[in-house]
Amino acid sequence: MIKSSLADLPLKNYYRYVVPSMDDFSSADSSINGPKAFFANMPLSKTLTMNLDVPEPWLVEPVIAVHDLDNILLENLVDTRTLQAVFELEALVLTGHCSEKDHDPPRGLQLILGTKTTPHLFDTIVMANLGYWQMKVSPGVWFLQLAPGRSSELYVLKGGADGIENKQSSKLITINDLRGKVVHMDVVKRKGREHEKLLVSDDDEEDLQETKKGSGWNSNLLKWASGFISSNEQPKSTETNDATDLIPRMAQEYGFECELITYKWPTWLHKQKEKQRIIWAYKILFLDVIFPLSLEKVIFVDADQVVRTDMGELYDMDIKGKPLAYTPFCDNNKEMDGYRFWRQGFWKDHLRGKPYHISALYVVDLKKFRETAAGDNLRVFYETLSKDPNSLANLDQDLPNYAQHVVPIFSLPQEWLWCESWCGNATKSRAKTIDLCNNPMTKEPKLQGARRIVSEWPDLDSEASKITAKILGDDLEPFPSPDQSKDLITEDPLKEDMESKAEL
């Protein structure tokens, strides 16, 4: 039977198979013309996403991409209606499994990877599930060791160099092709320390930490992508080329240091498919492994957040030994009572009097997070809940709130996150940060709300536009006045809908 119309497209994926055969050197210069895929006769009015399905050990990123590859609308590309992108193999993923005979995997065991001359280039910790770990590498000869400190004091590699088990022993790993490598390693506890636990709270170092407090906090502030206002500051694996060019240049202009981070989603962990949900997942699932071990604390700030205070105050705050610190949702604005879902049904029963926190700004004590195996616990909760399509609607927010009976949360003072929708205007003057969360009653577009709510927004937006234009060499369009802004709001309803899911 022939259908006259379709409610949904029967074909949602278009594939081209690309196989590199041999290097094709250009006759004009020394550049290499890599393998290509060409798509023709694509739908013009449908939002498309371009990505690569690559071998699991590959970390591949777009290095030339003028347009957002996750929101391609060909009819908006003026006359040409064509788009091209260049991808590059940035690194290989070295994965492994660590085991201890007759025991569970030594979760929290710290590993370092490097060369003979520089033994510590990369580091990570062993997860509870399968004793899994990963680090990114390039072809060459590498040496894997236990990290200095409690890991190497308590454990040794089984069968070290010349059969001698000592803390200097290392495992030689050769990466000689593009297939990556899976390394199986065994560890044993040193004699006399068989009954000691690896993960213990090191209270003896509290005085040392007090001495170090505040020294370099500004290098540990992470601005995270949120919605459409800014999608440029994200985990490296979700970056576009403009962002990777722009952020280092902005660092030079403003005098800060930055590093793009990446982590390959483990094959054994239930995967997310939508990019927005992948970003949410990275905000909470890999906190113990995505950052260098030397980093002890990090502050997450959503990109649609306006900061009105010295963030060093938040960095230095005593969060009472908790691994995480969030701000609870405000309850001042009584008009929103009908939307406070955590006060009824499942959430009310599950929270048992604990507050439901907002994920737009939070602090992670990475040292405590790793000591308490918080990452492993969160991944266990996630693996169980994520298979239910009706669960974790707001993944990065629901998961830590659900798990807070096991992974405790310190509730930040309310002024650390003010939102008009939930807090009302009575407390705005005390706000240290302003979050542009959506209002489910009015559904006001975010940019329109930003210009109305945040007095300094026009100046901040203008400065950001100017510095971006300066770096990219673009012509700067005249900045609209607040009176004109309402007429200029032409937001994509699809993106606004995603934001509605992101924050109530």
Residue 410 inside a domain? The answer is: yes
Q: 169, 193, 217: which is the final residue of a domain?
A: 193
Six token digits for residue 414: 């309310």
Question: How far is residue 58 CA from its own chain's centroid?
Answer: 19
Determine the Cα angle at 304 with ends 447 and 248, to 5°.
115
Q: 193, 219, 246: which is the final residue of a domain?
A: 193
Cβ burial, residue 283 (10 Å; 0-12/13-18/19+): buried
For residues 454 and 306, membership in a common domain is answered with yes
Residue 32 inside a domain? The answer is: no
pLDDT at 5 over 90: no
Q: Identity (one letter) of the amino acid at 184?
A: H
Q: What is the CATH number of the domain that holds 294?
A: 3.90.550
Question: Is 19 strand, coil or helix?
Answer: coil
Helix axes 275-282, 493-502, angle to 10 degrees: 30
Residue 329 inside a domain? The answer is: yes
Give residue-wise pLDDT tens across range 292-331: 999 999 999 998 899 999 999 999 999 999 999 999 999 9
For residues 173 and 313, membership in a common domain is answered with no
For residues 178 and 272, membership in a common domain is answered with no
Give residue-wise pLDDT tens across range 386-405: 999 889 999 999 999 999 99
pLDDT at 228 over 50: no
Residue 356 inside a domain? The answer is: yes
Helix axes 457-472, 446-453, angle to 10 degrees: 120
The reported pLDDT for the residue numbered 238 is: 45
pLDDT at 45 over 60: yes
Count of structural domains, the chain = 2
- d(CA 308, CA 429) in angstroms, rounded, equals 10
H or E element, residue 498:
helix 493-502
Cβ burial, residue 107 (10 Å; 0-12/13-18/19+): buried
- Give 339's DSSP letter: G
- d(CA 178, CA 19) in angstroms, rounded, equals 14
In the chain, DSSP finds a helix count (H) and a strand count (E) of: 14, 16
The reported pLDDT for the residue numbered 161 is: 46
Phi-psi region of 86 (alpha: psi -120 to 50; beta: other; left: phi over 0): beta
Nearest to 501 by CA among 228, 125, 117, 141: 228
For residues 346 and 256, membership in a common domain is answered with yes
β-sheet bridge partners, residue 175: 140
Residue 202 inside a domain? The answer is: no
The reported pLDDT for the residue numbered 218 is: 42
Place of tokens 């302003």: 434
CB half-sphere exposure, 129, CA atoms < 13 A: 15
For residues 402 and 279, membership in a common domain is answered with yes
For residues 189 and 212, membership in a common domain is answered with no
Nearest to 503 by CA among 432, 443, 463, 427: 443
For residues 273 and 308, membership in a common domain is answered with yes
Between 498 and 294, the more confident residue is 294
Question: How far is residue 215 CA from its own chain's centroid?
Answer: 24
For residues 471 and 354, membership in a common domain is answered with yes
Residue 253 inside a domain? The answer is: yes
For residues 298 and 337, membership in a common domain is answered with yes
Q: Identity (one letter) of the amino acid at 38?
A: F
266 lies in which domain range? Answer: 208-502
Q: CA torsion, points 279, 281, 285, 289, in degrees to nearest 10? A: -20
Helix, strand, coil proportions of the chain in percent (round to 5)?
A: 30, 20, 50
β-sheet bridge partners, residue 301: 223, 361
Confidence bin at 223 (pLDDT 50/70/90): low
Six token digits for residue 211: 């001495």
- d(CA 75, CA 45) in angstroms, rounded, equals 6
For residues 252 and 135, membership in a common domain is answered with no
For residues 408 and 458, membership in a common domain is answered with yes
Question: Within 10 A of 73 (CB to CB), how many other CB atoms are there?
Answer: 18
The reported pLDDT for the residue numbered 282 is: 93
Residue 25 inside a domain? The answer is: no
For range 198-227, the mean pLDDT:
52
- The answer to whether 236 touches 261, Cβ cutoff 8 Å, is yes
Residue 338 inside a domain? The answer is: yes
Confidence bin at 216 (pLDDT 50/70/90): very low
Q: Identity (one letter) of the amino acid at 112?
A: I
Distant-in-sequence, close-in-space partners of 390: CB < 8 Å, separation ≥ 6: none
Determine the Cα angle at 150 with ends 148 and 152, to 5°.
50
Following DSSP, what letter does each residue of 444-478 receive, concatenated? --HHHHHHHH-TTHHHHHHHHHHHHHHHHTPPPPP
Q: What is the CATH number of the domain that holds 133?
A: 2.60.40.10
Give residue-wise pLDDT tens across range 125-142: 999 999 999 999 999 999
Following DSSP, what letter does each residue of 55-113 receive, concatenated? -TTEEEEEEEESS-TTSB-GGGSTTT----EEEEEEEEEEEEEEE-TTS---TT-EEEE
What are the C-alpha distances in Å from 215 to residues 257, 258, 319?
15, 17, 18
Confidence bin at 493 (pLDDT 50/70/90): very low
For residues 368 and 462, membership in a common domain is answered with yes
Q: 150, 165, 193: which is the final residue of a domain?
A: 193
